[in-house]
């Protein structure tokens, strides 16, 4: 019998829901959230009932009987750092997700909603490759100031899924390869996948690496200190400002790729400059990893929603040397990645992990990021 899987993937501006029968997609819904609606909520966690009701409406509209669902899986949220894998949603994890100890983000709802639905029919829920998986080499963890560490918070689910997809398509084993994967979306993360482990990656949430459509990325530290002491923002407000109102939206008042491309076609020189700058920073991040890998990289992979934007992709290509084996995987494949993750456990190919054993050094550094 093919297991029926309910997949829930909440993002900052959308909620994706799907039904799989084994690895076959049967139903899919993408609920886009109006920015003005999202901004009405004081914090991201205030959106929980709003997001849950979208899932319940989908279940009702499609006449889905939860008793027929064999596996419930949600996107992994901000919990304590863990190694890659599929985890049982237990009370310890729910406590991490609800308390916001490690940060508040829409992705926290994945495990919570999956667990709530599963409990109504006395079943378990799971998450796969949460955003906080930490496989850093120790040298990558050092920041340059004692007491502050670099942290692994990135688009782990999609990066891992796309890296494994590339491996399969080229008849290779993921753990034998050395890859650089850049996820280009509302946030941008660029990671070095070395023999199956992401040994270095910029923290896509906490102000590290390239700026993105919404996020400020690296900033000159003295200017940032001045901004923090300018009495313009509270601690929570400055975090929210730099993570949801930074990057392209701070310069152009939009992060919509279609609108920005039209601006450029209409001769808007500022729009072209800022898109070039984002491409420049992405290429610089790729280049940094390429050199610490001593050039031993099997492929550089661009993925995520922005990989559909040919203006951006061509700008990035322009900064990379011709000998780089560049591959483009447009969009993301997180729904399938979640389904395949729990299938590997269901079929006995991997073991389920049910203990949250902390991996690495992320200790409550995020506090809260409202509405990311």
**Residue spans of alpha helices (H) in the chain:** 35-38, 48-61, 91-99, 108-119, 138-141, 156-169, 221-228, 235-244, 247-252, 257-265, 269-292, 310-319, 334-346
Whether residue 143 lies inside any domain: the answer is: no
What pLDDT is stored for residue 367 in this prediction? 37
Enter the tokens of residue 347.
């079929």
115 and 11 in one domain?
yes
What pLDDT is stored for residue 320 in this prediction? 97
86 and 46 in one domain?
yes
111 and 246 in one domain?
no
Whether residue 123 lies inside any domain: the answer is: yes
338 and 326 in one domain?
no
What pLDDT is stored for residue 163 in this prediction? 96
Residue 8: which domain range? Answer: 4-134+334-346
Question: Which CATH number covers residue 166?
Answer: 3.30.420.40
Whether residue 301 lies inside any domain: the answer is: yes
341 and 315 in one domain?
no
What pLDDT is stored for residue 13 in this prediction? 75
Whether residue 149 lies inside any domain: the answer is: no
Whether residue 96 lies inside any domain: the answer is: yes
161 and 37 in one domain?
no
Task: Compute the distance between CA of residue 222 and CA of residue 306 in angstroms, rounded to an integer.
Answer: 31
Enter the tokens of residue 6.
């309910």
218 and 70 in one domain?
no
128-180 residue pLDDT tens? 999 889 999 999 999 999 999 999 999 999 999 999 999 999 999 999 999 99
Whether residue 21 lies inside any domain: the answer is: yes
286 and 162 in one domain?
yes
Query: Which residue reads 């966690």 in tokens?
Result: 45
Whether residue 217 lies inside any domain: the answer is: yes
Apex CA 309: angle with CA 275 and CA 35, to 5°?
Answer: 80
**Residue spans of alpha helices (H) in 73-216:** 91-99, 108-119, 138-141, 156-169
Q: Minimal CA–CA distance to 347: which of 146, 86, 74? A: 86
What pLDDT is stored for residue 127 in this prediction? 96
Q: What pTM was estimated for this model as a whole?
A: 0.86
102 and 205 in one domain?
no
107 and 36 in one domain?
yes
CB contact burial 21-53 (16+ within 10 A = b; e otherwise): ebeeeeeeeeeebeeeebeeeeebbebbeebbe
Q: How many domains does the chain have?
A: 2
130 and 53 in one domain?
yes
pLDDT in tens, the chain (372 residues): 799 999 999 987 789 999 999 999 999 999 887 767 777 787 777 888 999 999 999 999 999 999 999 999 999 998 988 888 999 999 999 999 988 888 778 889 999 999 999 999 999 999 999 988 999 999 999 999 999 999 999 999 999 999 999 999 999 999 999 999 999 998 999 999 999 999 999 999 888 999 999 999 999 999 999 999 999 999 989 988 998 899 999 999 988 888 999 999 999 999 999 999 999 999 999 999 999 999 999 999 999 999 999 999 999 999 999 999 999 999 988 999 999 999 989 999 888 887 665 544 333 333 333 333
249 and 109 in one domain?
no
Q: CA Rg, the chain, in Å? A: 20
What pLDDT is stored for residue 355 in this prediction? 64
Cβ proximity of 154 and 189 under 8 Å = yes
């Amino acid at each position: 019998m093919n297991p029926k899987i309910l997949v829930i993937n909440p993002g900052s501006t959308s909620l994706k829901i799907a039904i799989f029968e084994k690895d076959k997609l049967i139903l899919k819904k993408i609920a886009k959230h109006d920015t003005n609606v999202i901004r009405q909520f004081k914090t991201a966690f205030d959106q929980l009932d709003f997001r849950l009701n979208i899932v319940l409406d989908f279940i009702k509209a499609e006449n889905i009987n939860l008793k027929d669902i064999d596996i419930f899986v949600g996107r992994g949220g901000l919990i304590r750092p863990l190694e890659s894998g599929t985890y049982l949603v237990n009370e310890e994890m729910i406590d991490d997700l609800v308390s916001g100890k490690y940060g508040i983000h829409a992705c926290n709802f994945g495990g919570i909603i999956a667990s709530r639905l599963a409990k109504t029919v006395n079943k378990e829920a799971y998450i796969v490759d949460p955003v906080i998986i930490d496989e850093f080499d120790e040298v990558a963890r050092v920041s340059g100031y004692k007491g502050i560490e670099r942290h692994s918070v990135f688009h782990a689910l999609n990066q891992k899924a796309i890296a494994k997809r590339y491996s399969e398509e080229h008849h290779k084993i993921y753990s034998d390869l050395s890859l650089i994967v850049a996820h280009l979306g509302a946030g941008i993360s660029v990671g070095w996948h070395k023999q199956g482990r992401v040994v270095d990656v910029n923290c896509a949430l906490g102000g590290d690496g390239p700026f993105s459509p919404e996020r400020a990325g690296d900033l000159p530290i003295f200017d940032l200190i001045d901004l923090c002491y300018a009495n313009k923002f509270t601690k929570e407000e400055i975090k929210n400002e730099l993570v949801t109102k930074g990057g392209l939206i701070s310069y152009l008042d939009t992060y919509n790729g279609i609108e920005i491309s039209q601006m450029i076609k209409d001769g808007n020189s500022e729009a072209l400059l800022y898109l070039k700058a984002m491409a420049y920073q992405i290429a610089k991040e790729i280049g940094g990893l390429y050199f610490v890998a001593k050039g031993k990289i099997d492929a550089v992979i661009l993925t995520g929603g922005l990989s559909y934007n040919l203006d951006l992709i061509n700008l990035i290509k322009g900064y990379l040397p011709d000998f780089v084996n560049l591959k483009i995987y447009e969009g993301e494949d997180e729904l399938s990645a979640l389904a395949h993750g729990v299938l590997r456990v269901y079929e006995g190919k991997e073991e389920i992990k049910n203990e949250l054993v902390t991996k690495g050094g992320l200790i409550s550094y995020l506090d809260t990021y409202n509405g990311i």
